[in-house]
């Protein structure tokens, strides 16, 4: 069956291992594109070996354009549209499907980052194309282009052009122009052949030169969300235009920051206490998913002290409605961001200890606010009364630095609550900050 | 019956103040005006220069007053078809194609391809404090130094003016963020009001030339596009660098 194709090119050249940090970044790029293919039912076609072995005459950038149709047919892949993707690109986990926006035209994005470079390249190749006057407003970057079978003839003629002039192209590329490889010749050939180009898709689909665009930062004035702009607003992050030896480090950092979003397991989509301070452990979340797996879809949970919403999204999987409350504005911003894909979650910024409670009735209440004995013995009775004896989840029961457990034990002894289940990481678990639990992480209580 | 012409509208007002409002800031605007005069005459358009404030600068910031555009033209009995509202720190290439023919009758501008830290921060800050969290895609954000409008946009401009007058103090308060004055509110409002937007290529309003590695003595940018906005120039004490580049560009394009 015909499918759209992600034609991903990442060929290791051992001579450049040092320069490219052993090409480890290929994996990060590949992971994101495989995820795209899974989401949108596309073929992932990986080119990891050169087709022509002479990498001097046939740079990989040339090979990706020259042999794309040959390779697909050699591999018996039934293709519809093809996106040719460089290994320096990472695609955002929830970004839209660009194949639906192409109008079946040749798609590219304008290259207006370093316009001196593009000018020199355009001027440098003008001669070999008989002084053809290129329309610069249609000059595209070739690191990410989309086309289809109707462009097969075009690529075939481009290949012929290269084979007929390979020595001239190599000389221009390596000795005279020294600005790029196949990109500018491809642009000339597209325009000379009057290929209908669509260049108006949002630049979010091709965010190049991130440092030049100043997109590595976040809004330090509002300081509500420290997600870098390119991740927050971009779809396709392209790590070019920066020193090549920096690329592996930067892509690794980005991958570490976003990798949880690429997993199908809900537990992989959030952070846990072994690596992050303000959250619960993976086991805690797993236990919540198990305990509340059935019969709670029409019920409401209120989380008092939701922090950055990393466990809230787990509650959102189980309950019909989840209300997260936190005193800290920045936390609320982060929580909103972490739960942005859930429509059943609402957040309220409120100081629980110095304001009137006006929450809707809830069947289950999480208390993870004040972390002392005094807080617990005051909070639990108040929760019981206000919410009419809900199920209560309490975090940090086994935290050695807190006196929560003492409070809970006293309330149990006085028949205020009973512990139904102990949940989460066991005694001996070491948190991101080096604390070692002396009992289980949390408890589920009933009145 | 008078023939309706396309208009190029430029503000060139001497505030006689200090810093951003110093008279010396205006000095290079003559190069802009002359270039637009030349282009307008070549393309059968009329140049309109606004030299006077409509009200005191304290009552309404100078940038905001330009949105009285339609009232100004009508008060001056000017028949108009489309209007290009351009900043006086731009210079147009004499061979620039007639962009009035590219607008499709829509609200037209050029995406602000400059510092996205500034653009995103500005959208987020204004969105939070002035537009009840209404966000817009950053890739549709235009630089207001070049906009083309027509009669259809009269009510939109009225909305802009009303927005300003209803939120004067709040806009004043926003100045502490240093993320622009009218530009971002106009962008967000256009998005919020579903104003049909036509984006022209970067070549029609080349902002932040240093970021594109184009601002150099070879004036390479004059080979790469049509309208140059001399903003974001580093080491621009007392606007001297702006004067230098605008004079040099004007002479290169119009006196050679």
**Contacts of residue B211 in chain A, CB cutoff 8 Å?**
212
Contact: B213, A116; criterion CB under 8 Å: yes
Mean pLDDT of chain B: 95
Spatial CA neighbour of B37 closest among B108, B90, B82, B103: B90
Question: CATH: 3.30.70.360, 2.40.170.20, 3.30.465.10, 3.40.50.150. Which one for A267-446?
Answer: 3.40.50.150
In this structure, what CATH number is given to the domain that contains residue B230? 3.90.550.10
Query: Residue B16, class by beta-carbon neighbours within 10 Å (0-12 exposed, 13-18 middle, 19+ buried)?
Result: exposed
* CA pair distance A338, A308, nearest whole angstrom: 7
pLDDT computed for residue A429 by the predictor: 94
Residue A206's closest chain B neighbor by CA? B139
Those residues whose C-beta lies under 8 Å from the C-beta of residue A112, and which sit 6 or more positions away, are A118, B113, B202, B212
Q: Token pair of A310, please?
A: 């990393």
Spatial CA neighbour of B255 closest among B60, B34, B6, B98: B34
The pLDDT > 70 percentage for chain B reads 98
Distances (CA, A) of B81 to B78, B117, B152: 10, 36, 10
Q: Token pair of B95, please?
A: 């061979």
Contact: A215, B117; criterion CB under 8 Å: yes
Domain residue limits at B109: 5-254
In B120-202, beta strands by DSSP E? 142-150, 197-200
Ranges under pLDDT 50 in chain A:
none
End-to-end CA distance of chain B: 40
**Per CATH, domain A3-261 is 3.90.550.10:** yes
Torsion, CA B221, CA B226, CA B230, CA B231, rounded to 10: -100
Q: Domain count of chain B? A: 1
**What does DSSP say about strands A442-446 and A418-423: parallel, antiparallel, or unpaired?**
antiparallel
Contact: B221, A115; criterion CB under 8 Å: yes
Spatial CA neighbour of B249 closest among B13, B72, B89: B89
Contact A211/B at CB under 8 A? no
Spatial CA neighbour of A3 closest among A47, A31, A41: A41
Q: Other CB atoms closer than 10 Å to residue A296's CB: what's the count?
A: 18
Q: What angle do CA A25, A217, B141 make, to 5 degrees?
A: 110
Contact A274/B at CB under 8 A? no
pLDDT computed for residue B2 by the predictor: 60
| Sheet with A321-326, edge to edge strand ranges | A345-349, A321-326, A300-304, A364-367, A391-394, A442-446, A418-423
Spatial CA neighbour of A330 closest among A215, A432, A218, A226: A226
Q: Does B20 have pLDDT greater than 80?
A: no
User: How many helices and strands, by DSSP H and E, does chain B display?
Assistant: 9, 8
CA A359 to chain centre: 34
Phi, psi values for residue B54, rounded to 5°: -85, -30
User: What number is the ipTM of this complex?
Assistant: 0.94
Put simply, the chain B residues between 209 and 248 with a CB less than 8 A from any chain A CB are 211-214, 216, 220-221, 223-225
Q: Which of A117, A136, A212 sits opposite B203 (nearest CB)?
A: A136
pLDDT computed for residue B15 by the predictor: 80
pLDDT computed for residue A198 by the predictor: 98
Domain with CATH 3.90.550.10 in chain A: 3-261
Contact A133/B at CB under 8 A? no
pLDDT computed for residue A359 by the predictor: 95
Confidence of residue B1 (pLDDT cuts 50, 70, 90): low
DSSP assignment, residue A360?
P
Contact B97/A at CB under 8 A? no
Distances (CA, A) of B86 to B29, B63, B106, B161, B224: 12, 11, 16, 18, 20
pLDDT in tens, B26-44: 899 999 999 999 999 999 9
**What does DSSP say about strands A3-9 and B142-150: parallel, antiparallel, or unpaired?**
unpaired
Contact: B177, A229; criterion CB under 8 Å: no
Spatial CA neighbour of A236 closest among A98, A348, A78: A98
Q: Does B137 have pLDDT greater than 70?
A: yes
Residue B207's closest chain A neighbor by CA? A112
Mean pLDDT of chain A: 95
Contact B116/A at CB under 8 A? yes
**Contacts of residue B139 in chain A, CB cutoff 8 Å?**
202-204
Spatial CA neighbour of B142 closest among B223, B230, B204: B204
Length of chain B: 256
Put simply, the chain A residues between 383 and 402 with a CB less than 8 A from any chain B CB are none
Spatial CA neighbour of B7 closest among B34, B39, B35, B29: B39
**Contacts of residue A232 in chain B, CB cutoff 8 Å?**
120
Domain with CATH 3.40.50.150 in chain A: 267-446
Alpha-carbon Rg for chain B in angstroms: 18
In A262-369, beta strands by DSSP E? 300-304, 321-326, 345-349, 364-367
* CA pair distance A174, A180, nearest whole angstrom: 9
Which is more confidently placed, B14 or B84? B84
* CA pair distance A205, A189, nearest whole angstrom: 23
Spatial CA neighbour of A334 closest among A204, A219, A210: A219
Contact A119/B at CB under 8 A? yes
pLDDT computed for residue A88 by the predictor: 96
């Amino acid at each position: 069956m015909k499918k759209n194709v992600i034609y991903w090119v990442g060929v290791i050249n051992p001579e450049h291992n040092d320069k490219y940090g052993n090409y480890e970044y290929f994996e990060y790029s590949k992971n994101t594109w495989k995820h795209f293919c899974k989401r949108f039912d596309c073929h992932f076609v990986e080119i990891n070996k050169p087709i022509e072995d002479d990498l001097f005459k046939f740079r990989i950038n040339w090979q990706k354009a020259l042999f794309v149709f040959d390779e697909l047919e050699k591999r018996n892949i039934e293709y519809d549209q093809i996106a040719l993707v460089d290994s320096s690109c990472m695609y955002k986990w929830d970004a839209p499907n660009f194949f639906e926006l192409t109008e079946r035209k040749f798609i590219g994005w304008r290259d207006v980052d370093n316009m001196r470079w593009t000018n020199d390249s355009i001027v440098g190749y003008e001669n070999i194309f008989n002084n053809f006057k290129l329309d610069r407003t249609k000059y595209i970057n070739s690191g990410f282009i989309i086309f289809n079978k109707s462009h097969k003839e075009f690529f075939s003629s481009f290949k012929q052009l290269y084979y007929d002039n390979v020595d001239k192209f190599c000389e221009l590329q390596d000795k005279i122009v020294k600005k790029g490889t196949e990109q500018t010749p491809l642009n000339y050939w597209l325009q000379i052949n009057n290929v209908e180009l669509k260049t108006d898709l949002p630049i979010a689909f091709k965010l190049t030169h991130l440092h030049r665009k100043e997109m590595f930062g976040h809004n330090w004035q509002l300081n509500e969300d420290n997600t870098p702009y390119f991740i927050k607003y971009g779809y396709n992050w392209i790590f070019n235009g920066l020193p090549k030896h920096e690329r592996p480090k930067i892509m690794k950092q980005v991958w570490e920051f976003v990798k949880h979003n690429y997993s199908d397991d809900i537990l992989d989509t959030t952070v846990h206490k072994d690596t992050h301070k303000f959250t619960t452990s993976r086991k805690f979340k797993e236990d919540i998913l198990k305990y509340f797996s059935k019969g709670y879809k029409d019920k409401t949970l209120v989380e008092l002290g939701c922090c950055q919403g990393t466990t809230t999204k787990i509650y959102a999987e189980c309950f019909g409605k989840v209300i997260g409350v936190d005193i800290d504005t920045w936390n609320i911003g982060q929580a909103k961001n972490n739960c942005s894909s859930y429509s059943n979650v609402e957040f309220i910024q409120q100081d629980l200890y110095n304001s009137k409670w006006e929450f809707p009735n809830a069947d289950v209440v999480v208390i993870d606010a004040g972390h002392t004995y005094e807080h617990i013995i005051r909070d639990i009775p108040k929760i019981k009364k206000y919410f009419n004896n809900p199920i209560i989840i309490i975090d940090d029961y086994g935290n050695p630095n807190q006196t929560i457990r003492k409070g809970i034990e006293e309330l149990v002894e006085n028949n205020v609550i009973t512990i139904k289940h102990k949940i989460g990481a066991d005694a001996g678990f070491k948190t991101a900050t080096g604390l070692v639990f002396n009992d289980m992480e949390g408890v589920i209580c009933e009145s | 019956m008078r023939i309706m012409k396309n208009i190029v509208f430029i503000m060139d007002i001497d505030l006689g103040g200090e810093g951003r409002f110093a008279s010396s800031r205006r000095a290079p605007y003559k190069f802009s005006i002359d270039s637009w005069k030349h282009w307008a005459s070549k393309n059968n358009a009329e140049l309109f220069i606004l030299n006077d404030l409509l009200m005191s600068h304290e009552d309404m910031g100078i940038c905001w007053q330009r949105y009285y555009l339609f009232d100004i033209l009508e008060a001056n009995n000017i028949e108009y078809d489309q209007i290009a509202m351009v900043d006086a720190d731009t210079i147009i290439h004499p061979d620039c194609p007639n962009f009035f023919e590219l607008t499709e009758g829509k609200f037209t501008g050029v995406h602000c391809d400059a510092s996205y830290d500034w653009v995103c921060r500005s959208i987020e800050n204004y969105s939070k404090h002035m537009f009840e969290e209404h966000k817009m895609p950053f890739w549709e954000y235009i630089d207001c130094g070049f906009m083309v409008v027509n009669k259809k946009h009269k009510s939109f401009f009225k909305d802009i003016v009303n927005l300003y007058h209803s939120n004067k103090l709040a806009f004043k308060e926003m100045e502490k963020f240093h993320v622009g004055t009218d530009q971002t509110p106009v962008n967000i409002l256009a998005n919020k009001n579903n104003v049909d937007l036509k984006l022209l290529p970067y070549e029609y309003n080349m902002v932040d030339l240093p970021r594109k590695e184009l601002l150099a003595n070879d004036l390479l940018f004059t080979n790469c596009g049509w309208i140059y906005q001399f903003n974001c120039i580093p080491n621009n004490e007392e606007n001297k660098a702006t004067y230098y580049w605008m004079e040099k560009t004007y002479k290169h394009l119009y006196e050679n």
